[in-house]
Amino acid sequence: MFFQTGPGGLSLYHSIQKNLNQAGTKFKVKIFERESSPHDRYQGCIMNIYKFGVSSLFYSLPTEVQARLPDAMPDPIPNIERHGLDVFDHTGKKLLEMPVYKYKNVFEFVQLKQKLPWFFIYRNTLREILLNDVDVQWGKKCIRYEETDEGVCAIFEDGSREFGNLLVGADGINSPIRMQKMPNLQVKDSGVSYVVTDVYPTKKLANQLISICGNCIAQESIGQKGDNHITLMRLIPIKSELENREDQIYYRFTLMYCELTDTLLELWSLVPTDTPESMAKTPFKMSIYPKIRQMIDIDPLSVTSWETSRVILLGNSVTFQDIESLTNELLRYESDGWKVCIQRYEQEMRARSSKISLKSTSMLLLTIKEYGYFGIIVRNLIYKVFNVLISCLPYDLVDRLFCNLYGVE
């Protein structure tokens, strides 16, 4: 069985070792990655991961790997950070304050019964944790595969080939494996792109932002012309640089671009624009150039015919849940046979992935829609009414309401 080294492929590797191999079923897993080494390119900014994804991640990881998760998902700092989401209009007025769920750390977080609270995760650190002690064949770009009745052969750019029983395409949104298996399954471009980067503001600048917008760790401002700015921040001093002066203490923020106020402009001015050597002066000492990310997704139900074969795809937006479902099905690999197991997995994955993909795209489009003068007044009013409503409702009801909006069951 083969796959690649994104969070999806690596979590599936751990899940197979923990839930299948240690339980007696023996799957021999090989991992092939097109990048030449673990540090070939910057491995991502701060991402949010919903509670249902964290639950599936815990299901996949053995306890010793779970124990390292706080490195990628550091504990909330009481009274300093507020773990919620605040939405502002273009004048800086707060429109919405999403409920805050209290938890001390990721281990308490995963026990919450709600599904939609989220936790910030440093993607690069998560990947390092997942890669630890995993044998990966680097510099192996899969260009296509050949399937026979006996198995499937992955073919790499360097001319080498590997034969196995199953091939898992955990190779991301532009997966060549998916393109070969399902050429008609197109990625859906929402037409929205964000400029995304990490910056390391000093404590002084972070305090300036907090004095204006508060200490909520996710802040979104929605403008008049479909413009949108998201700041994701953790107010954890970066230890290696720690001294007593405010201009020597750094934090890590992820910014997603739109219209800029003066303080946001100052944050963006910290983004490196010259050589990689200049990065050596930053606390993280690695390349974090801004990247344009198109908001694209895949709706697996957009194609009706889907032939179950030895080539398995993971959904994009709900990867961790897919891994849990796939592992559960593979538990019955020997009794039911590979085809039946994969068929059942695909049925579940396609319905779930499609629903979440469609709902999250429509929510995104609502945020960046251009409304016109009166439209903005109505939109802001709706936000404010909604804000009052969710502040009066019990947590569980708010959670169910949002699960509905985002297509989570």
Q: Does 172 bind ligand FAD (CB under 6 A)?
A: yes
Closer by beta carbon to ligand FAD, 122 or else 249: 122
φ/ψ of 154, rounded to 5, equals -90, 135
Q: Does 300 bind ligand FAD (CB under 6 A)?
A: no
Q: Does 9 bind ligand FAD (CB under 6 A)?
A: yes
**Dihedral sign, CA of 118, 260, 211, 123?**
positive
Binding to ligand FAD (CB under 6 A) within 16-35 occurs at 32-35
Contacts of 392 (CB under 8 A, 6+ apart): none
Please give the residue whose beta carbon sits closest to ligand FAD in the complex: 6
Residues paired with residue 137 on neighbouring β-strands, in sequence order: 32
How much helix, strand and coil, in percent to the nearest 5, is found in the chain? 40, 20, 40
Closer by beta carbon to ligand FAD, 318 or else 342: 318
CB 4 within 8 A of CB 48: no
Q: Does 38 bind ligand FAD (CB under 6 A)?
A: no
Instruction: Name the pairing type of β-strands 136-137 and 30-32.
Output: parallel
- The least CB distance from residue 253 to ligand FAD, in Å, is 13
Q: What is the DSSP string of 97-153?
A: EPPPPP-SSHHHHTT-S-S--EEEEEHHHHHHHHHTT--EE-S--EEEEEE-SS-EE
Q: Does 66 bind ligand FAD (CB under 6 A)?
A: no
* CA distances to 94, 150, 228, 368, 388 from 220, in Å: 10, 52, 7, 12, 18
Q: Does 290 bind ligand FAD (CB under 6 A)?
A: no
- The least CB distance from residue 276 to ligand FAD, in Å, is 16
How far is residue 276's CA from residue 211's CA, in Å, rounded to a whole number?
A: 33
Could you tell me which stretch among 44-52, 61-69, 184-192, 397-405 binds ligand FAD (CB under 6 A)? Answer: 44-52
Provide the 10 A C-beta neighbour count for residue 158.
9
HSE (side-chain half, CA atoms, 13 Å) at 207: 8
CB 49 within 8 A of CB 4: no
Q: Does 99 bind ligand FAD (CB under 6 A)?
A: no
- The least CB distance from residue 11 to ligand FAD, in Å, is 8
- The least CB distance from residue 226 to ligand FAD, in Å, is 20
Which of 1, 2, 6, 182 is in the footprint of ligand FAD by CB under 6 A? 6
Q: What is the DSSP string of 172-211?
A: -TT-HHHHHH-TT--EEEEEEEEEEEEE--BHHHHHHHHH
- The least CB distance from residue 117 to ligand FAD, in Å, is 18
Closer by beta carbon to ligand FAD, 6 or else 164: 6
Q: How would you class 24 by CB atoms within 10 Å of its CB: exposed for 0-12, middle for 13-18, buried for 19 or more?
A: exposed
Q: Does 283 bind ligand FAD (CB under 6 A)?
A: no
Q: Does 142 bind ligand FAD (CB under 6 A)?
A: yes
Binding pattern for the stretch 151-170 against ligand FAD, x by CB under 6 A and - elsewhere: -------------------x
- The least CB distance from residue 314 to ligand FAD, in Å, is 6
Closer by beta carbon to ligand FAD, 112 or else 195: 195
Q: What is the 3-state secondary structure (H, E, C) of 40-57?
A: CCCCCCEEEEEHHHHHHH
Closer by beta carbon to ligand FAD, 176 or else 283: 176
Give the pair of three-digit tokens for residue 310.
């030895």
How far is residue 8's CA from residue 229's CA, in Å, rounded to a whole number?
A: 28
Q: Does 144 bind ligand FAD (CB under 6 A)?
A: no
Closer by beta carbon to ligand FAD, 68 or else 90: 68
Q: Does 53 bind ligand FAD (CB under 6 A)?
A: no
Which of 16, 19, 44, 185 is in the footprint of ligand FAD by CB under 6 A? 44
Q: How many residues bind ligand FAD (CB under 6 A)?
A: 26
Kindly compute the dihedral angle of the four CA atoms of residues 353, 359, 361, 363, in this order, to the nearest 10 degrees.
-150
Which of 1, 233, 311, 314 is in the footprint of ligand FAD by CB under 6 A? 314
Provide the binding-site residues for ligand FAD, judged by CB under 6 A: 4-9, 32-35, 41, 43-45, 47, 123, 141-142, 170-172, 176, 196, 314, 316, 319
